[in-house]
A and B are shown apart, each in its own frame.
Chain A
Amino acid sequence: MNAAPEYAELAVTTNFSFLQGASHPDELVLTAAALGIKSIAIADRNTLAGVVRAHKAAKNLDIQVIIGCRLVMMDGFEVICLPTDKAAYSRLTRLLSQGNLRAEKGNCHLTFDDLQVHAKGQVLLIIPPQNLSGEFELQLEDFKSRFKKGYLALTRYYGPHDHKYLEDLAHLARSYGLQTVATNNILYHIPDRRPLQDILTCIRTHTTVQKAGLTLLANAERNFKTPSEMYRLFPGFPDAVARSANIAEQCRFS
C-alpha cells in the first residue's frame, strides 16, 4: 500500500438530517480530520443545512468539506448529489426548493425527472439499500437510461453476507456501466453514538427501544474509519476506495 493512503468519505449524515444523523457537523469534521481523512462530503437528506456549521469547523483544519445533499426520491431511491461548480450548486438548490414547495413542510418530493433537469455538473453517487431487490435493479435501469455517468456506493455494514453483498454490487455496477466507490455511509462520528441514533430511530418511527426490534441497526459501524482501515475493509476493491479521493478532487467548489 502507498505510504499515505488517500480516502474521502462522501456520504456523511449530520444531525441536520432530521432524526437520522446522531452527530453535529463540527464533531464529524473534527473526527474526520483527526483520523487523516482528506475530505468529507456533508450530505443530509434533501437539505444543505448541515454544510454551514461543517464549514466553520473546517476553517482552521487540514480538511476539505464538500457541499452535498442526499436526494431521497419519492420511491425511496437514494442518491448523493455533489455539485462540481457554482452553477451546479445553484441547480441543486433550485431542485431542492422545487421539491420542498411541492410537499408540506418537512417533506420534499423529488423524482428522476426533476433530477434530470438539474443534473448538469453534478456527481451522482447512488446509495444502494442493504437488501438488494429487483425493484432496486429496475431503478438502476431507469437511472442509467437518464444519466450518462454515475457511481455506486459500496459499504461494509457488517451484515450477514458482506462479501456477497459487495460482489453483487460490483456486478450490478459492471452491468449498468457505473463505477463503484467505497463509503462508510456515516451516521455518527464515534461508535458510542449508537444509543442516541437508536433513540432517534425510535422517535422517527413512533416506538420504544424495546419494541423497535429490527428497525434499529444491528451494530455500531456507521462511524469514520481511517483510510488504511478502509483499504483493509474492502480487500477486493482498492480502486473503489481510491476513487473516493478522485471524486473529491472533482468537487473543488466550496
Chain B
Amino acid sequence: MKKPISLLAESTQSAAIAPLPVEALRLLSDLSLRLKQVGIRQISSLTNAPKPPLVTRFGAELITRLEQATGQTAEIFNPITPAPIYEVRRPLMVPIRHLEAVELILEDMAADISAQLLQDNAAARRLDLFLFRVDGHVERLEARTSRLCNKAEHIELLFRERLSRLQGNIDIGFGYDILLLGVYDVEPAEEEQLNWAPLKHESGTGFSSEEISRLLDRFGNRFGFDHILHFHPFESHIPEQAVRAKAFSNNQVQSQWTAQKGKGKSRPFLLLDRVEPITVLAEVPDGPPIRFQWRRQQHEIIAADGPERIAPEWWQNANTEHSFQTRDYYRVEDQQGRRFWLYRDGLYNREQDHPRWFMQGLFP
C-alpha cells in the first residue's frame, strides 16, 4: 500500500490550488496564453472573478476545468489496464450459466495459451481469467504461481482452485458470453534437467521440488499467498527469536539456513513452542542442575554442560512476553539418557535472588 503523498481536507481544495499557475488546470495552450495576456496568471484570480463574463470571453471549458479541479463537477475517466502479453478469447454463442462449463472451456483455452507460450519458449508468472457477463459486468480471477508455468494442466490446476473458491458466492446472472485468458507476467522458460533416477528418491523427503511448488500454488491460490508462512533464519542470540515466519513469496522459495557459527551442536533439535517452568535443584551461583521436575516427572541429572550465557537484547521493548533477564543455558542428560535444554532466568547476585528455571528444548 502506498501512502498518500498529500492529503487535503474536504473544503480546502480551492485554497490549495489557488497559488498554482493557470496551466495547472489542464487548459489548451492558447487559452492559457490568452489568460496570461489579460494578466490572469494564478488560479486564485479565476476563482474570485464572477463566472458569466469568464464564460463569454474564454468559453465554457475554463469553468468546467475549474469546477473539476475543486470537485464541484465529477470527472469520469476509464482506468487503463495493461494489455495481456498473450491472450485467448472465447466468444460464446449461448451464454453459459454454470462454473462447471467454465472449467470445460478453460481446459481448451489453457491448451491454446500453453501452445502460444511454448512457441516463444516463455512461461507465465501471473495469469488472469476474465468472465464477461451478459450485462457488462466483468469478473476477474487472478492466479499466481511460484513455479514458472507453461503447461496446460498446470494452468488448469491454478484456476480450478480459484473457481472452487468462487463456487456458491458468485452471481452468474444471465450467464457469461465471453471468456478471456490473459498472461501478464512472462519470463523465459527454463528447462530443468531431470534426474535419471525417479524423482521420489531425489532428496529422501519423498517429494520433488516441483510437487512442492505445485502444492504451494494450490494453497496460495485457494487461501491467498499471504496465508502461507515460510520460516527464515534471523540473526539473534536469543533462541526463540532466531527464526522468523514471513509470508511466502514467489521469488524466494529457498532460504539460506546456515548453522550459526560454532553453535550448531549446542542447539536442540526441538524447541518447545512456549518455555515451560520447571523446579530445579542446582548449585549457587551458576552450577549445573542436579535434578529437576518437569511435567510432574523427576529427572536425575547425570551429565551437564554449561552455562552458556545469553543476555537480553536491551534495545527491545521490555514488555515482551519473555522476561528481560540474562539466561544461563545448560545441556543436561538424565539417567534414562534423555537430553534436555534448560535455562535459569536471571543471575544470582546480579539480577535475582530466586531465579526461575525453564525447559526450552529437547535433543534427539
CB distance from B301 to the nearest CB of A (A): 16
21 contacts between A and B (CB under 8 A): A158-B308, A158-B328, A159-B308, A160-B263, A160-B265, A160-B308, A160-B329, A161-B262, A161-B305, A162-B307, A164-B305, A198-B315, A209-B313, A210-B315, A212-B235, A213-B234, A214-B260, A214-B261, A218-B237, A218-B311, A219-B310
CB distance from A206 to the nearest CB of B (A): 16
Give chain A residues whose Cβ lies under 8 Å from the Cβ of B328: 158
**Cβ of B234 and Cβ of A218 under 8 Å apart?**
no
Interface membership of B51, Cβ < 8 A: no
A165 to B170, CA, bound (A): 66
Interface membership of B326, Cβ < 8 A: yes
Number of B residues with CB within 8 Å of any CB on chain A? 25
**Cβ of A131 and Cβ of B260 under 8 Å apart?**
no
Give chain A residues whose Cβ lies under 8 Å from the Cβ of B235: 211-214
A158 to B313, CA, bound (A): 16
Give chain B residues whose Cβ lies under 8 Å from the Cβ of A160: 262-263, 265-267, 308, 329
Closest chain B residue to A210, Cβ basis:
B315
Interface membership of B314, Cβ < 8 A: yes
Known: A195-B314, A209-B315, A210-B315. A219 touches B261 (CB 8 A): no
Give chain A residues whose Cβ lies under 8 Å from the Cβ of B350: 191
Interface membership of A163, Cβ < 8 A: yes
Apart from A158-B328, A160-B308, list 14 A-B contacts with CB within 8 A.
Answer: A131-B261, A158-B307, A158-B309, A160-B263, A209-B315, A210-B315, A213-B236, A214-B236, A214-B237, A214-B261, A218-B309, A219-B309, A220-B326, A221-B309
**Cβ of A194 and Cβ of B314 under 8 Å apart?**
yes
CB distance from A196 to the nearest CB of B (A): 10
CB distance from B293 to the nearest CB of A (A): 25
Digitize A177-208: 1 where CB-to-B-CB distance is under 8 Å, 0 elsewhere.
Answer: 00000000000000100110010000000000
**Cβ of A219 and Cβ of B311 under 8 Å apart?**
yes
Give chain A residues whose Cβ lies under 8 Å from the Cβ of B266: 160-161
The SS class assigned to the A binding surface is: helix
Known: A131-B262, A213-B235, A214-B237. A220 touches B308 (CB 8 A): no
CB distance from A21 to the nearest CB of B (A): 18
Interface residues of A (CB under 8 A from B): 130-131, 158-164, 191, 194-195, 198, 209-214, 216, 218-221
A78 to B265, CA, bound (A): 27
Known: A218-B310, A221-B309. A159 touches B262 (CB 8 A): yes
Among all A-B residue pairs, the 9 with the closest Cβ atoms? A213-B235, A160-B266, A158-B309, A219-B309, A218-B237, A219-B311, A131-B262, A209-B315, A160-B308
Closest chain A residue to B233, Cβ basis:
A213
A191 to B308, CA, bound (A): 16
A194 to B261, CA, bound (A): 21
A212 to B350, CA, bound (A): 26
User: Which of B262, B265, B311, B314 is close to A130, meaning CB atoms less than 8 Å apart?
Assistant: B262
CB distance from A193 to the nearest CB of B (A): 11
Give chain B residues whose Cβ lies under 8 Å from the Cβ of A194: 311, 314
Closest chain A residue to B309, Cβ basis:
A158
A30 to B234, CA, bound (A): 40
CB distance from A169 to the nearest CB of B (A): 14
CB distance from A173 to the nearest CB of B (A): 20
A214 to B305, CA, bound (A): 22
Give chain A residues whose Cβ lies under 8 Å from the Cβ of B236: 213-214
CB distance from A226 to the nearest CB of B (A): 12
Give chain B residues whose Cβ lies under 8 Å from the Cβ of A210: 315
Digitize B245-266: 1 where CB-to-A-CB distance is under 8 Å, 0 elsewhere.
Answer: 0000000000000001111011
Digitize B280-315: 1 where CB-to-A-CB distance is under 8 Å, 0 elsewhere.
Answer: 000000000000000000000000011111110111
CB distance from B280 to the nearest CB of A (A): 19
For chain B residues 98-134, which have a beta carbon within 8 Å of chain A? none
Give chain A residues whose Cβ lies under 8 Å from the Cβ of B306: 162
Give chain B residues whose Cβ lies under 8 Å from the Cβ of A211: 235
CB distance from A27 to the nearest CB of B (A): 19
